[in-house]
Amino acid sequence: MAEILKAVRGMNDLAPEASPLWRATEETIRNLLDRYGYQEIRLPLVEKTELFARGIGEGTDIVEKEMYTFKDLNGELLTLRPEGTAGCVRAGLEHGWFHHQPRRLWYSGPMFRHERPQKGRYRQFHQVGVESFGMGGPDIDAEMIALTYRLWNQLALPIPRLEINTLGGAESRTRYRKKLVEYFTLHENQLDEEAKKRLQTNPLRLLDSKNPDLKPLIDQAPTLEDFLEKSESEHFRHLLNYLDAVGIPYHHNPRLVRGLDYYTKTVFEWITDQLGAQGTICAGGRYDALIEQLGGKPTQAIGFAIGMERVITLLEQQKNPLTNLPLPDAYLIIAGESLRQTALMLAEKIRSELPTLKLVTHCLEGSLKNQMKWADKSGARYALILAEEEMQSRSLSIKDLRHSGTQIQKSWDEVSAFLQSHLV
Ligand code: HAM
């Protein structure tokens, strides 16, 4: 027998049993985004490599070592998108979406990063990304956080911890970076290899180090707060006041830096301790300089992305009612080869008469008894039976598979009315 090929490591299939929970979750998110006035956009999975290098930053882990980059047949350097913000900004600039108007946009779909796969970390994963443009005040920051908070409540998730910080603007960060480099250079002999590299490429990311030996050194490092402009600290203070006002608990973590270079001012992460090491289920922040950096007019912006696999795993752990499978209402049994054409026509007639009915037809051979077993296994409420006898009397037998077990006969013209009045 030929060898069965396996999927690429870190890239998962969605099983039929798992899709109802994904759909229900996606629908909850979609409805909520509608309520806050966000409009959906759909973006290509592939962009020019340069977009990510310029947008996310050359010195980031993503651009340095995690991108799926290839030359296409024209020799153009392309990359499978590792995230959606850069593509969203590219599309907005290309189509003039940000001209003279505030915008609230969202997108969803797969992202690709060549990371080491483990629970909650995949090479193809799914995000719902939410971005707003042209609004610079802390009120939109607070609104976005409130939206995510409402989402956790609507999904009945245990509320994750909100970690929040401000990174200031480009100038304060440059001043801070200089100070950090001075500090860590002074203690360079205590740094590991990774940290030494980061000291050269991206000193702020040193604060993110997972090495416990570095913790005391990092704890003693200067904090950005002391380097912020007055307007930047004000922005952050107002945001925290707004969060207090709407009753959203947060934890100000001055070491939160994020792994992408485009952030300015507000950054935040929603972190759960129920998923082990990969506990961040949603993350984002302000990126007021990115639009200009990618060739547009200065436009303030903030956004976040939800890691769908992580949210779904949390929901599975909760045994949330969203996990219930949608079952068919009726299962059509066809007892006799010569009856197939009639069965097909009847099924289409019933589907036209009852647009929300879920009707599954038995498209295999099998005795009446065997087909009844399949009907039962499908979880359908009713079995509809077409055998020679029903064919003669232009009727269908209808058996209640769940409650009474009774069987009645209805003419072809009465079947839909019966189902409609008996299915709620
Ligand atoms: P990010 O922090 O790189 O931000 O990713 C956002 C979320 O996607 C993470 O918090 C996590 O839940 C999920 N995620 C990231 N990598 C993986 C992975 N390998 N496997 C599974 N889930 C993963 C961004 O992507 C920004 N574009 C967010 C943003 C939008 N900032 C402003 N606007």
Instruction: Give the mutation target among 43, 132, 310 for probing the ligand 1 site: most ligand atoms within 8 A of CB.
Output: 310
Taking residues 53-74, report their average pLDDT. Answer: 93
pLDDT of 100 higher than 70? yes
Query: From ligand 1's centre to the CA of 179, what distance in Å?
Result: 29
More confident call, 116 vs 326: 116
Task: Give pLDDT tens digits for 119-145.
Answer: 999 999 999 999 999 999 999 999 999
Strands 39-40 and 69-71: unpaired
- pLDDT, residue 80, reads 98
Residue 244: pLDDT band (50, 70, 90) is very high
Query: From ligand 1's centre to the CA of 317, what distance in Å?
Result: 21
Is the C-beta atom of 112 inside 6 A of ligand 1? Answer: no
Query: From ligand 1's centre to the CA of 414, what distance in Å?
Result: 53
Residue 259: pLDDT band (50, 70, 90) is confident
Task: Give pLDDT tens digits for 269-315.
Answer: 999 999 999 999 999 999 999 999 999 999 999 999 999 999 999 99
C-alpha span between 59 and 64 (Å, rounded):
6
Is the C-beta atom of 303 inside 6 A of ligand 1? Answer: yes
Q: Sign of torsion, CA 203 280 40 8? A: positive
Length of the chain: 424
Is the C-beta atom of 281 inside 6 A of ligand 1? Answer: yes
pLDDT of 320 higher than 70? no
C-alpha pair distances (Å), 165 with each of 263, 269, 286: 11, 9, 11
- Kindly report the protein residue whose alpha carbon is nearest to atom 29 of ligand 1: 304
Query: From ligand 1's centre to the CA of 284, what distance in Å?
Result: 8
Residue 415: pLDDT band (50, 70, 90) is very high
Query: From ligand 1's centre to the CA of 360, what distance in Å?
Result: 39
- pLDDT, residue 269, reads 98
Is the C-beta atom of 127 inside 6 A of ligand 1? Answer: yes
Residue 322: pLDDT band (50, 70, 90) is low
**291 phi and psi, to 5 degrees?**
-65, -45
Q: Under a CB-based contact definition with an 8 Å cutoff, are residues 214 and 192 in contact?
A: yes
Residue 83: pLDDT band (50, 70, 90) is very high
Share of the chain above pLDDT 70, in %: 99
Is the C-beta atom of 283 inside 6 A of ligand 1? Answer: yes
C-alpha pair distances (Å), 285 with each of 79, 130, 260, 262, 351: 24, 11, 10, 9, 47
Give the distance, in angstroms, between the CA of residue 142 and the centroid of all CA atoms in the same chain: 20
The DSSP secondary-structure symbol of 219 reads: H
Residue 95: pLDDT band (50, 70, 90) is very high
Taking residues 373-381, report their average pLDDT. Answer: 95
Is the C-beta atom of 83 inside 6 A of ligand 1? Answer: yes
Query: From ligand 1's centre to the CA of 83, what distance in Å?
Result: 7
pLDDT of 329 higher than 90? yes
Query: From ligand 1's centre to the CA of 282, what distance in Å?
Result: 7
C-alpha span between 87 and 92 (Å, rounded):
8
Task: Give pLDDT tens digits for 349-368.
Answer: 999 999 999 999 999 989 99
pLDDT of 324 higher than 80? no
pLDDT of 384 higher than 80? yes
Is the C-beta atom of 122 inside 6 A of ligand 1? Answer: yes
Share of the chain above pLDDT 90, in %: 83
Is the C-beta atom of 107 inside 6 A of ligand 1? Answer: no
- pLDDT, residue 207, reads 86
Q: Under a CB-based contact definition with an 8 Å cutoff, are residues 261 and 174 in contact?
A: no
Is the C-beta atom of 208 inside 6 A of ligand 1? Answer: no
More confident call, 423 vs 282: 282
Long-range contacts of 291-296 (CB under 8 A, 24+ apart): 291/89, 291/92, 291/93, 291/98, 291/133, 293/54, 293/55, 293/262, 294/51, 294/54, 294/55, 294/86, 294/89, 294/90, 294/93, 295/93, 296/89, 296/92, 296/93, 296/98
- Kindly report the protein residue whose alpha carbon is nearest to atom 12 of ligand 1: 307
Q: Residue 424: beta bridge partners?
A: none
- pLDDT, residue 102, reads 95
More confident call, 332 vs 321: 332
Is the C-beta atom of 165 inside 6 A of ligand 1? Answer: no
Query: From ligand 1's centre to the CA of 374, what distance in Å?
Result: 42
Burial zone of 309 (CB within 10 Å; 0-12 exposed, 13-18 middle, 19+ buried): buried
Query: From ligand 1's centre to the CA of 261, what distance in Å?
Result: 13
Query: From ligand 1's centre to the CA of 182, what distance in Å?
Result: 31
pLDDT of 194 higher than 80? yes
Is the C-beta atom of 114 inside 6 A of ligand 1? Answer: no
Can you read off the two tokens belonging to residue 209? 């180090």
Is the C-beta atom of 309 inside 6 A of ligand 1? Answer: yes
